[in-house]
Amino acid sequence: MGPDNDTQISGFLLLGLSNYEELQTLIFAVFLSMYLITVFGNLLIILAVSADSHLHTPMYFFLTNLSFVDICFTSTTVPKMLLNIQTQSKVITYTGCISQICFSILFAGWDDFLLALMAYDRFVAICHPLHYTVIMNTQLCGLLVLMSWIMSVLNSLLQSLMVLWLSFCTDLEIPNFFCELNQMIQLACSDTFLNDTVLYVSTVLLAGGPLAGILYSYSKIITSICRISSTQGKYKAFSTCASHLSVISLFYCMVLGVYLISAANQSSQSSAVASVMYMVVMPMLNPFIYSLRNRDIKGALIRFFKRPNIKGTIVLVVKKCP
C-alpha cells in the first residue's frame, strides 16, 4: 500500500496524560519545571566540562554528548505537549507527528549507543590502564560517536519512511502526549506486518547490541576489580563507574521494566506513564546523578560558577590634562 492516501490526513489527536481539565494546569507546571531542569542541568554539564581542561578526557567527551542528546530527546516532545495544554488543543499535524517519531527514535538510539561507548571507555580504563591513552585516543572517540550517530540516523529514517507507507482510517487518536511509533502502527488500517518486523529486528539489533556490549564490559570490569588486592583500590576503581552504572540501571529499568508492565496491563494510561518515565524523568535525573556522584564534575561546576569572580584587578589611571 503506497502513501497516496496519506495526504488526506490533516493530523492526529494527542490525548495526553489526562482528560480532566482541572489537572491540565498542574500537568503544565510539572512538565515545564521538569523540562527546564533537564535543559539547564544538562547544559551546565556541557559548559562545565568544556570550560575545564582537566575534564577533556574520553569519559567526559562521551558525557557531554550524552547531555546534548538528553536535551534534544526531551525537546522533541515536551514543548509540543506544553503548547497543546496552553492552547487547549490536542491536534498535531501529520508532518509534525512523523517528525516526532523520527527525532525521538534518533535520539533514543543515540542515547543507547553512548551508554555502550561509556561502558567500553570504563572497560579500557580499568582493564587496560597502561594502554588507555593509546587506545582511547581523540580520533577513535570521535569515530565511535560518529558511527553511533550514523546508525541512529539510518534507523530513524528507515522507521519514519516505513510509517509514510501506512494508510490510516478514521481513528486518529493517539493515547499519549507524543507520537509513539508502536501506537502509530497500531492505528494503521493497512497491513503492518513489515513495519512490525522491522521494528522488532531493529530493536533487537540496535538495543540488544549495546546492552550486550555493556554487560560484557562490566563483566570484565567486575572481574578486574575483584583481582585488586587492596580495599581502597577496589573502591577507587568502582567509584569511576558508579555514576555511569547508575545511569545505565535507570535507563534500562525504565525502558524495559516499565514497558513490560504496560504491555502486560494493555493499558494506554500505563503506556503514557512509561513514556514519561524514559522520555522526561530519565534525562532530568542524569545531570543530578553525574554531579552528585562524581567528584570531578562537582569540582568543575564549582570552578565554573566561581570563574566570573576570578578576574584581575582593573587599575584606572587618570591623567591630568595639560
Assign 123 to helix, strand or coil: helix
Helices 58-75, 24-51: inter-axial angle, 10-degree rounding: 160
How much is the pLDDT for 58? 92
The Cα–Cα gap between 104 and 174 comes to 16
How much is the pLDDT for 158? 94
**Cell numbers 540501571: residue:** 249
Query: What pTM did the predictor assign?
Result: 0.87
Assign 176 to helix, strand or coil: coil
Assign 191 to helix, strand or coil: coil
Rg of the chain over all Cα atoms, to the nearest angstrom: 23
Q: Count CB neighbours of 248 within 10 A.
A: 21
The Cα–Cα gap between 222 and 97 comes to 43
How much is the pLDDT for 263? 58
The Cα–Cα gap between 137 and 150 comes to 20
The Cα–Cα gap between 115 and 43 comes to 18
Count of H-run helices and E-run strands, the chain: 13, 3
Closest among 18, 13, 102, 12 to 273, alpha carbons compared: 18
CATH architecture of 3-297: Up-down Bundle (1.20)
C-alpha cell at 97: 507527528
The Cα–Cα gap between 218 and 123 comes to 7
- The length of the chain is 322
Q: Which residues contact 162 (CB under 8 A, 6 or more apart)?
A: 194, 195, 198
| CB distance 164 to 154 below 8 Å | no
Listed in order, strand segments (DSSP E) in the chain are 11-14, 91-93, 173-174
- Give the pLDDT of the chain (322 residues) as one tens digit per residue: 444 444 457 789 898 887 777 888 999 999 999 999 999 999 999 998 898 888 899 999 999 999 999 999 999 999 999 999 998 888 999 999 999 999 999 999 999 999 999 999 999 999 998 999 999 999 999 999 999 999 999 999 999 999 998 888 776 888 888 998 888 888 888 888 999 999 889 988 888 899 999 999 999 999 999 888 888 888 888 888 888 888 888 888 777 765 665 555 555 666 777 778 888 988 998 888 887 667 777 777 788 777 655 444 444 444 444 4
**Boundaries of every domain in the chain:** 3-297
How much is the pLDDT for 298? 76
C-alpha cell at 175: 493515547
Question: What single letter denotes the amino acid at residue 113?
Answer: F
